[in-house]
Amino acid sequence: MHDSIDLAAYLRRIGLHGHVAPDLSTLRGLAAAHVASIPFENLNPLLGLPVELDPAALERKLVQDGRGGYCFEQNLLFAEVLRAIGFGVSGLIARVLWRQPEDAVTAQTHMLLRVELDGESWLVDVGFGGHVLTGALRLQPGIEQATGHEPFRLIVVEGDWHMQSRVHGQWLTLYRFNLLPSQPVDYVVANHYVSTHPASRFVSNLIVARTSADRRLSLLNREFTVRRLDREPERHSLRDGAEIRRVLEQEFLLRVPDVAGLDRRLDSLPE
């Protein structure tokens, strides 16, 4: 193991107790506990604050300060955790196709991880918001793979891998990617675009998510949604910034930062 991260503090943060080892049970358990405890959130881009990707900043924000983050923050932190335990990890980058046509050409703005374990390759991704993968997928195309929530699968189309989930009986693509390992600068460039460009939805919308064992929670501006498997979504319209703050703290387990202008920004979110 290496000590680039305070592993004990991270495990306390996600509420995981007991022995961890570079094995499949640990990998799956870590992924499920991570997404249940560390929310996906974009408060920094929404407030015009920088999103830092160096390991110390990620550990401070997501572990020590009780915050969350989006894909680059979540998966870069998770990669450090896995390496500290002894897993072999490399980062990949993807083009998001969720709620987009299959042939849409989108930018490479999503990060996921490839993990090597006992001669096999697995994919993990703790940073895909409200439809995050709750477990690990064997890097093998064309087979349905169970997770703690919806089934997932991988297919290969014209040389690209597509990550898919079966939602209400239909296979939907989350994103597509190749297996060429990404370099840190790839994430720096993509992170800058996602966190600052006027066309990025993270700059103009509040987007928060958390997935526990029995439900997926999501917040888009003032719309708070609870999804349980095989049940209709429960949608709630939040009245004002105070109610949004309460939901952030109580439902998403987010330690809301003491940042100037936050309450005013929450009050101004569209319905």
110 belongs to the catalytic site:
yes
267 belongs to the catalytic site:
no
DSSP states along 184-214: HHHHHHHHHHHHH-TT-HHHHS-EEEEE-SS
The span from the first CA to the last CA of the chain, in angstroms, equals 48
DSSP states along 232-261: PPEEEE--SHHHHHHHHHHTS-------TT
Decide: 228 and 215 in contact? Cβ < 8 Å: yes
71 belongs to the catalytic site:
yes
Question: In sequence order, what are the residues at sequence separation of 6 or more whose Cβ sits closer than 8 angstroms to the Cβ of residue 228?
Answer: 214, 215, 216
Name the active-site residue from 34, 110, 149, 162.
Answer: 110
Q: How many other CB atoms are found less than 10 A from the CB of residue 19?
A: 5
Name the active-site residue from 6, 19, 125, 162.
Answer: 125
Q: Where are the beta strands (DSSP E) in the chain?
A: 40-41, 88-96, 108-117, 120-124, 137-138, 152-157, 160-167, 170-177, 207-211, 216-220, 223-227, 234-237
Name the active-site residue from 34, 71, 131, 162.
Answer: 71
Active site residues: 71, 110, 125
